[in-house]
């Protein structure tokens, strides 16, 4: 599913939270949405999936998302919010099964095909051996995989992820992003994710969109968006960009000034 | 080795449902057998199951049959229906509001019903109606629905959309206001104080088949609707954003649950007064046994709510026999320590 945003804006409580976002993403692409805290990343994702009203146009395969019933949209577009709520005692199997909701009639229950899809997702995400565990007994990396599994159970052609790597250690962050990369490759899922780690964003996403105070300030391939000047201007950080062959851009923070005498140690 | 938690397997849950049906049956039999006039157990069995082949023996005499069919049976039936209504409404509210402390009276149903009942009792003693009946059940039914209706309207206006916090706060405000009005009406008509007080503590004592027939349509409709919401309530547990991204409209689901649960609650308070604690303690106890899925919590709450109230009523009419305790006092005195014990046990397991 390709995605096109045309001059998308969001107003919350009378205030413009997101303004003038325009970009396009081809089917199977990965758009990384960057920006400092409060830049409007989550708001943009929520608008794309139709949870809050927006101005402008969100086109999915050329169709305006506004004209699509929410239930139909949910069969094609799945979202993992930043901090999903999990009812105490919910098991992995129950949680992933909830992803079938848009495919089941309101008063209906899971059918054979629903169970097959859930089983396939659990298998492909290597969760089969923990299906009976309650969610609160899992590690951070496992929980994140279960969240993704819940979204995949919707059988989406587009997946929106709000900061999927927050609160994970660096190894688990890589695990999650590699998993998403594999889904993109194997299933052709289009991915839009808010990311706060610039290095990881530069290495995994194939397009980046930078928001600053709700405005789109840069958009394009990582080489165009991630520059030392941009990072300094919008994140207030002093960085060096290192290009690692085959991996992409790595953003390395460097000290803004070296205290007197410090250099002698090295 | 994967640790399988209690309640995670389907077979175990089916077993629990079957056990709950058994408990309701046993509790009901106890409710029929125990009372100031002792009824012969085999006689009662014959009276109940005499139509079945292979059941033989003597039935009850006419006086005993009248006690069974006109006094005890409607009382047990009413306790079943009221208990199921309150427990299911509590479970549904807790799911829809994602709040473990939600109970059927969360949005002002109790205060509204209290005001309605007080007005009915005042009007009843002043006019020609006898002690408020049959005005009383209708007035408390309407009062409960009006209370919830105002809370929903106020909560919706506060949050723009019906957010859970807005609704809960509106419920608190509306309940306080209606209670204030009720207190005022009661103060102005202190001769009805005793009747109002009795009503507030709950009563199944005057139950006849009329009461059962009166609330059954509302009870059945609401409980069925809430049972069908089990899976949707699980999705609501993900939070409004995720539920929305799964194609649901959370504020609409919440409205449907509020309407159904309020009908059931209003029906229950209309015939039985305010019986507290059932809506909280029963769903929580159930949750400790079968886990987090509302597909199991809601139906099991119905069964356990019914059994709990039948047993509570049995205690209410036997502990200080020949007198009777108000059933609200019994549900709280049994329920609170039982609840504390369950929580303590759950705390040890996890």
Q: Are residues A192 and A252 in the same domain?
A: yes
Q: Are residues A126 and A230 in the same domain?
A: no
Closest CA of chain B from A13, distance in Å: 10
A98 in contact with B at a CB cutoff of 8 Å? Answer: yes
What are the φ/ψ torsions at residue B205 (nearest 5 degrees)? -60, -40
Q: Which residue has the tokens 């539920």?
A: B243
Which of A155, A178, A209 delimits the end of a domain? A155
On whether residue A72 sits in a domain, the answer given is yes
Check whether domain B99-203+232-274 has CATH 3.30.70.1140, yes or no: no
Percent of chain A with pLDDT over 70: 98
CB contact under 8 A, B291 and A84: no
Q: Are residues A110 and A182 in the same domain?
A: no
In terms of residue numbers, what domain contains A232? 3-76+156-265
Which of A155, A177, A210 delimits the end of a domain? A155
On whether residue A20 sits in a domain, the answer given is yes
Using CB atoms, which residue from B5, B246, B295 is nearest to A102? B246
Q: Are residues A179 and A257 in the same domain?
A: yes
Closest CA of chain B from A97, distance in Å: 10
Q: Are residues A141 and A20 in the same domain?
A: no
Closest CA of chain B from A263, distance in Å: 51
A119 in contact with B at a CB cutoff of 8 Å? Answer: no
Q: Which three-class secondary structure state does DSSP give residue B282?
A: helix
Residue of chain B with shortest Cα separation from A12: B160
Q: Are residues A60 and A168 in the same domain?
A: yes
For chain B, domain boundaries = 99-203+232-274
Asked if pLDDT for residue B6 goes beyond 50, the answer is no
Query: How many Å is the Cα radius of gyration of chain B?
Result: 21
Q: pLDDT tens digits, residue range B230-278? A: 999 999 999 989 999 999 999 899 999 999 999 999 999 988 888 988 9
Q: Are B55 and B48 in contact (CB under 8 A)?
A: no
pLDDT at B165: 83
Residue in B152, B176, B179 with CA at minimum distance from that of residue B166: B152
Rounded CA separation A107/B252 (Å): 14
Strand segments (E) across A122-188 = 158-162
- Average confidence (pLDDT) over B153-172: 77
Q: Are residues A162 and A261 in the same domain?
A: yes
On whether residue A195 sits in a domain, the answer given is yes
B41 in contact with A at a CB cutoff of 8 Å? Answer: no
Can you say how many angstroms the Cα of residue B78 is from the centroid of all Cα atoms in its chain? Answer: 10
Using CB atoms, which residue from A75, A81, A132 is nearest to B8? A132
pTM of the model: 0.87
B344 in contact with A at a CB cutoff of 8 Å? Answer: no
Asked if pLDDT for residue B126 goes beyond 50, the answer is no
CB contact under 8 A, A132 and B239: no
CB contact under 8 A, A132 and B98: no
On whether residue A66 sits in a domain, the answer given is yes
User: Which run of H or E residues covers position B197?
Assistant: helix B193-200
A91 in contact with B at a CB cutoff of 8 Å? Answer: yes
On whether residue A81 sits in a domain, the answer given is no
Q: Are residues A226 and A207 in the same domain?
A: yes
Q: Are B74 and B209 in contact (CB under 8 A)?
A: yes
Closest CA of chain A from B161, distance in Å: 12
As for the ipTM of the complex, it is 0.87
Q: pLDDT tens digits, residue range B297-306? A: 999 999 999 9
What are the φ/ψ torsions at residue A63 (nearest 5 degrees)? -100, 135
Q: Are residues A50 and A163 in the same domain?
A: yes
On whether residue A82 sits in a domain, the answer given is no
Using an 8 Å CB-CB cutoff, list chain B residues near A134: 5, 8, 291-292
What are the φ/ψ torsions at residue B163 (nearest 5 degrees)? -80, 155
- Preferred mutation among A49, A65, A96, A98 to probe B, highest tally of B CBs within 10 A: A98
Q: Are residues A167 and A218 in the same domain?
A: yes
Instruction: Give the least confident one: A43-57, A242-256, B45-59.
Output: B45-59
pLDDT at B55: 61
Q: Are residues A136 and A258 in the same domain?
A: no
- Average confidence (pLDDT) over A153-164: 95
**Cβ partners under 8 Å of residue B183, min gap 6:** none
Q: How far apart are the first and last CA of chain A?
A: 52
Asked if pLDDT for residue B229 goes beyond 90, the answer is yes
Closest CA of chain B from A221, distance in Å: 28
Which of A155, A178, A208 delimits the end of a domain? A155
Using an 8 Å CB-CB cutoff, list chain B residues near A90: 234, 237, 291-293
Rounded CA separation B20/B23 (Å): 5
Q: Within chain B, how many helices (H) and strands (E) appear?
A: 15, 0
Q: pLDDT tens digits, residue range A123-146? A: 999 999 999 999 999 998 899 999
Closest CA of chain B from A73, distance in Å: 7
On whether residue A28 sits in a domain, the answer given is yes
On whether residue A83 sits in a domain, the answer given is no
Rounded CA separation A195/A201 (Å): 6
Q: Are residues A20 and A97 in the same domain?
A: no
Task: Provide the number of structural domains found in chain A.
Answer: 2
């Amino acid at each position: 599913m390709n995605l096109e945003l045309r001059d998308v804006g969001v107003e919350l409580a009378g205030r413009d939270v997101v303004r003038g976002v325009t970009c396009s993403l081809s089917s199977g692409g990965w758009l990384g949405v960057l920006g400092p805290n409060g830049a409007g990343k989550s708001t943009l994702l929520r608008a794309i999936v139709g949870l809050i009203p927006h101005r402008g146009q969100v086109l999915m395969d050329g169709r305006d998302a506004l004209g699509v019933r929410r239930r139909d949209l949910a069969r094609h577009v799945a979202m993992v919010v930043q901090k999903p709520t999990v009812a105490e005692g919910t098991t992995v199997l129950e949680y992933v099964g909830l992803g079938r909701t848009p495919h089941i009639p309101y008063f209906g229950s899971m059918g054979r095909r629903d169970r097959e899809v859930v089983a396939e997702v659990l298998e492909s995400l290597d969760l089969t051996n923990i299906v009976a565990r309650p969610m609160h007994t899992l590690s951070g990396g496992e929980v994140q995989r279960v969240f993704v599994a819940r979204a995949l159970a919707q059988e989406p052609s587009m997946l929106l992820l709000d900061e999927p790597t927050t609160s994970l250690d660096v190894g688990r962050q890589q695990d999650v992003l590699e998993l998403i990369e594999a889904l993109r490759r194997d299933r052709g899922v289009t991915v839009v994710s808010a990311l706060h780690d610039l290095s990881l964003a530069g290495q995994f996403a194939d397009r980046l969109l930078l928001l600053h105070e709700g405005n789109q300030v840069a958009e394009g391939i990582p080489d165009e968006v991630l520059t030392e000047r941009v990072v300094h201007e919008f994140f207030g950080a002093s960085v060096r960009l290192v290009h690692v062959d085959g991996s992409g851009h790595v953003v390395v923070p460097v000290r803004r000034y070296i205290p007197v005498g410090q250099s002698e140690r090295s | 080795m994967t640790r399988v938690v209690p309640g995670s397997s389907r077979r175990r849950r089916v077993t629990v449902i079957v056990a709950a049906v058994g408990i309701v049956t046993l509790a009901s039999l106890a409710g029929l057998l125990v009372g100031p006039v002792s009824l012969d157990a085999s006689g009662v069995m014959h009276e109940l199951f005499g139509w079945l082949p292979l059941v033989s023996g003597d039935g009850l005499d006419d006086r005993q049959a009248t006690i069974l069919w006109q006094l005890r049976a409607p009382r047990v039936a009413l306790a079943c229906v009221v208990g199921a209504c309150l427990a299911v409404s509590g479970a549904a509210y807790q799911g829809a509001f994602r709040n473990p402390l939600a109970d059927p009276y969360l949005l002002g149903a109790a205060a509204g019903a209290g005001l309605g009942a007080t007005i009915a009792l005042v009007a009843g003693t002043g006019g020609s109606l006898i002690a408020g009946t049959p005005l009383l059940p209708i007035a408390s039914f309407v009062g409960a629905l009006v209370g919830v209706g105002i809370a929903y309207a106020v909560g919706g206006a506060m949050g723009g959309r019906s957010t859970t916090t807005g609704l809960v706060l509106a419920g608190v405000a509306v309940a306080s206001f209606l209670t204030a009005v009720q207190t005022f009406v009661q103060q102005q008509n202190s001769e009805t104080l005793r009747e109002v007080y009795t009503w507030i503590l709950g009563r199944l004592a005057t139950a006849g088949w009329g009461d059962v027939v009166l609330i059954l349509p509302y009870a059945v409709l609401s409980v069925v609707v809430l049972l069908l919401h089990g899976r949707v309530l699980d999705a609501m547990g993900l939070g409004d954003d995720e539920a929305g991204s799964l194609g649901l409209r959370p504020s609409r689901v919440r409205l449907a649950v509020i309407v159904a649960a309020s009908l059931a609650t209003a029906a229950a308070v209309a015939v039985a007064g305010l019986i507290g604690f059932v809506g909280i303690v029963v769903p929580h106890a159930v949750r400790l046994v079968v886990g987090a899925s509302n597909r199991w919590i809601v139906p099991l709450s119905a069964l356990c709510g019914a059994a709990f109230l039948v047993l509570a009523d049995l205690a209410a009419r036997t502990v200080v026999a020949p007198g009777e305790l108000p059933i609200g006092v019994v549900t709280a005195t049994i329920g609170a320590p039982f609840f504390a014990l369950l929580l303590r046990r759950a705390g040890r397991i996890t």
